[in-house]
Structure 1
Amino acid sequence: MSRNYKFHNPNGLYFVSFAVVGWLDVFTRNKYKELFLESLQFCQKNKGMEIHAWCIMPSHIHLIFRSIGKQNPEQLLGDLKRFTSKQIVKEIAENPQESRRENLIASFKSEALKNSNTSQYQFWRHDNKPIELWSNKVIFQKIQYIHNNPVVEGFVSQPEEYLYSSARDYAGKKGLLDDVCVFQYFGI
């Protein structure tokens, strides 16, 4: 297990969580969730991101993935975060119906001023906390954690009821994301 939050194994299966700056609840709007999903699909089809589990919460994302392409996992996740941050900030700034627009944009600008490597806006926090998953038991535990997040928060009573996660795929239903690699685990 990687305890210092680095991607040490380029072929490893990783659990990552990453949040919007200030843990702002940006993903309460379906449009922003859909933009993130489109980016995940692009990474699957064009960048070699193999997705095993995912969940979009209001302020953060949980993801279990492996890089099966030419990019190492750190670069792949960095590309995903850079692209989605630009797209979502642009959508927020241009959405006349976004009642929180001024406050959100001001928060993203304020966070950018705190970082020398961020130019105009900072959408995502810089920490990803990647954990390499080293056993079937740990993989299963992380998948359960991801899928139970919306239940714990009181959004749904069963994981598969939450539309914006891979729990539906694991329940034998069609989820929003194609080609999720459903992990089969037969013992604890």
Structure 2
Amino acid sequence: MSRKYKFRDNEKLYFVSFAVVHWIDVFIRNEYRQVLLDSLRYCQEKKGLEVYAYCLMTSHVHLIISSQGKPLAEILRDFKSFTSTQLRKAITENPQESRKEWMLWVMERAGKRNGNNKGFQFWQQHNHPIVLNSNFLIQQKLDYLHNNPVEAGFVEQPEDYIYSSARDYAGTKGLLDILLIE
């Protein structure tokens, strides 16, 4: 992996994105989105994760984060590991999931091809952290993150998408407690 994309200073702001293997649209169901939101809350409360912005799309997640505690690489590793297990369970146990067999087959196939896994892979391997060391970069990533649902055609205005911190930045309480970038 390139040395360019690593967490070097946990107190700096980072933009990270991670996606489901093969960009499967898992997060179209509320119960799957809830697993992610609950896990982010847990990381905030118990692991020192500071969330400044987020956007949960159907197949991927964007975050602007930092930490005053545990290293960010460890927090994200634990987050991805835990949510992978929980989401696999949620998919398996969901009687309404018409794509269950296909999704599990794709994830098992991806896991068997990756020696870092135990026969199952939910998330793609990399987080691609980008340090946000200037106001220009912070604004660019914040705009990109919040405009993602608009570009996807889900909403007309960023603040209309409930699975995003754009609501918080527009003055409406969102689904996750965040720290605003001033």
Task: Report the equivalent of 2:180.
Answer: 182
Pairing of 1:1-188 with structure 2 (within 5 A): 4-69=4-69, 71-178=70-177, 180-184=178-182
- Paired with 1:144 and 1:39, the residues of 2 have a C-alpha distance of 24
State the superposition RMSD in angstroms: 1.2
On the 8 A contact 1:54/1:165 being kept in 2, the answer is yes
- On the 8 A contact 2:16/2:62 being kept in 1, the answer is yes
CA distance in 2, matches of 1:183, 1:4: 24
User: Residue type matched to 1:57 in 2?
Assistant: M
Q: Give yes or no for contact 2:109–2:119 (8 Å, CA) kept in 1.
A: no
Q: Please report how far the alpha carbon of residue 135 of structure 1 lies from its aligned counterpart in structure 2 after TM superposition.
A: 1.1
Give the deviation of 1:3 after TM superposition. Answer: 7.2
CA distance in 2, matches of 1:116, 1:152: 35
Q: Is the 8 A contact 1:3 1:131 kept in 2?
A: no
Q: Once the 2 structures are TM-superposed, how far is the Cα of residue 111 of structure 1 from its aligned partner? A: 0.4
**Structure 2 CA distance for aligned equivalents of residues 10 and 158 of structure 1:** 32
Q: Which amino acid aligns with 1:119?
A: K
| % identical aligned pairs | 54
Q: 1:9 offset after TM fit, Å? A: 1.7
CA drift of 1:120 comes to: 3.0
Paired letter, 2:15: F
Change (3 A) 1:160 1:3: farther
Task: Note the C-alpha offset of 1:11.
Answer: 2.0
3-state DSSP class of the match of 2:27? helix
* Contact 2:162–2:174 (CA under 8 A) maintained in structure 1: yes
Unaligned runs of 5+ in 1: none
* C-alpha deviation, 1:123, in angstroms: 0.1
SS of residue matched to 2:65: strand
TM-score, with structure 1 as normaliser: 0.93
User: How many residue pairs align between the two structures?
Assistant: 181
Q: Structure 2: where are the runs of 5+ without partners?
A: none
Deviations 1:159-183 (A, max 9, x none): 00000010000000010002x1111
